[in-house]
Amino acid sequence: MKALIFVHFTKQVNFDFENKIFDDIRNAVSEVDVFDFDNHSAPEMVKYAISMIEKADKALVYFKMDNEEGSAKLIGLAEKLIKYSEKCFVILNGQNRLLEKMLSAGNKNILIDENTEAILEKVKSFLA
C-alpha cells in the first residue's frame, strides 16, 4: 500500500482542503490511499495517519503550515516519520520550527519549501 497524507495547519477551521501540488501528486501517482486532516481535527485523525504510515509500503506526508499553533499534536506523528524514515517522504510547505528540527535530524527524505516541479519529480520517483 502507498499512502498520501495531507496535514494542514491553519489559524481557523478550514473546510477547503484544496492544494494544487497535493492534487498534482494524487493525479500523478496511481494506486495510493489518501487521507487528510488539519490541526483542528480530533486526535483520532492523527492516530489514523500513524496507522497508515505503519501499514504502508511507502508513505508521503505533506505538511501545509499556515500556523505553528498546536504543532505539539504532531509529535507522535513526527516520531513515526523518523522511525519509518526509509519508507517515508516528507514535504514541509511553510514554516514550523518544531517539525523542521525533529524531522530534519532523522529523515533524509524531506523537502522544505521547494518548487512544485522539483517536488513532483522527487515524489514520483519515491512512490514509483
CATH of the domain at 39: 3.40.50.9100
The set of residues, in sequence order, having a beta carbon less than 8 Å from that of 94 and lying 6+ positions away, is 9, 63, 64, 65, 66, 113
Work out the burial of residue 58: count CB atoms within 10 Å of its CB; fewer than 13 is exposed, 13-18 middle, 19 or more buried.
buried
pLDDT value of residue 115: 73
pLDDT value of residue 30: 74
pLDDT value of residue 18: 66
pLDDT value of residue 45: 93
Mind giving me the DSSP string for 16-80?
----HHHHHHHHHSSS-EEEEEETTS-HHHHHHHHHHHHH-SEEEEEEEES--TTGGGGHHHHHH
pLDDT value of residue 16: 61
Which three cell numbers, joined as nine digits, stand for 117? 516541479
pLDDT value of residue 55: 96
d(CA 58, CA 53): 8
How many structural domains compose the chain?
Answer: 1
Q: Which of 92, 108, 40 is nearest to 100 (CA)?
A: 92
pLDDT value of residue 47: 94
| Chain length of the chain | 128
pLDDT value of residue 49: 96
Q: Which domain covers residue 110, as residue numbers?
A: 2-127
pTM of the model: 0.85
User: Mean pLDDT by 10-residue block, N- to C-terminus, for the chain (128 residues)?
Assistant: 88 66 75 86 92 95 79 84 91 83 76 75 80
pLDDT value of residue 87: 93
